[in-house]
Amino acid sequence: DAGITQSPRYKITETGRQVTLMCHQTWSHSYMFWYRQDLGHGLRLIYYSAAADITDKGEVPDGYVVSRSKTENFPLTLESATRSQTSVYFCASKDVSNQPQHFGDGTRLSIL
Amino acid sequence: QQQVKQSPQSLIVQKGGIPIINCAYENTAFDYFPWYQQFPGKGPALLIAIRPDVSEKKEGRFTISFNKSAKQFSLHIMDSQPGDSATYFCAARMNYGGSQGNLIFGKGTKLSVKP
């Protein structure tokens, strides 16, 4: 089915480990986004990408790395996970700038 | 200036009631105001949206009221149903600089509609 999929849906890891969250969309949308959702903070933008090989920081980029070698994929890497990065992570995509964003179902990440 | 303030944090209504969720913003560069609905275990989904040149928009039981001079907008749910129980996020879209098209989200309102 067309859409946006995130994997894994659940992940538990330890502090200091590297972890990569995957996001794949089948619409060939230009824009892709990573958000984190925490109680009391709503959705906060981590990184976004306007096209393949073009990425930029959002509101809370520290501790995260992204890449976008292909239009359909936008992985998010925590190079050395910390407990404060325990959160639910959402990927989103959209076509051109004035179109709505479509969200995946999220990855729940717990860092022990 | 880039914040979107949303209230209340949580809301409980009886079936058939009209819950109202309010949002306020400061930045006049915002040009599009969507509302997203999120069910547990799912990602947010676009519910309804409005542009600042319109004072009201209705889609089914959902209505956005927009007050440009007060920099406020609100979501009303008519004849609310238990199936409307979800978290609702307002958002505002930036339309300037390199962040064109990015959304700033409110902190969310958890709505519970009792049968």
Tell me, yes or no, if B100 comes closer than 8 A to chain A by beta carbon.
yes
Place of tokens 């292909």: A70
Work out the average pLDDT over A61-84.
96
B38-95 pLDDT, tens digit per residue, is 999 999 999 999 998 999 999 999 999 999 999 999 999 999 999 999 999 999 997 7
Tell me, yes or no, if A56 comes closer than 8 A to chain B by beta carbon.
yes
**Number of CB pairs, chain A paired with chain B, less than 8 A apart:** 47
A10-21 pLDDT, tens digit per residue, is 999 999 999 999
DSSP string covering A44-96, please?
A: EEEEEEEETTEEEE-S--TTEEE--SSTTB--EEESS--GGG-EEEEEEEESS
Instruction: Report chain B residues whose CB lies below 8 A from the CB of A48.
Output: 102
Work out the average pLDDT over B99-112.
87
State how far residue A82 is from chain B, nearest Cα, in angstroms.
23
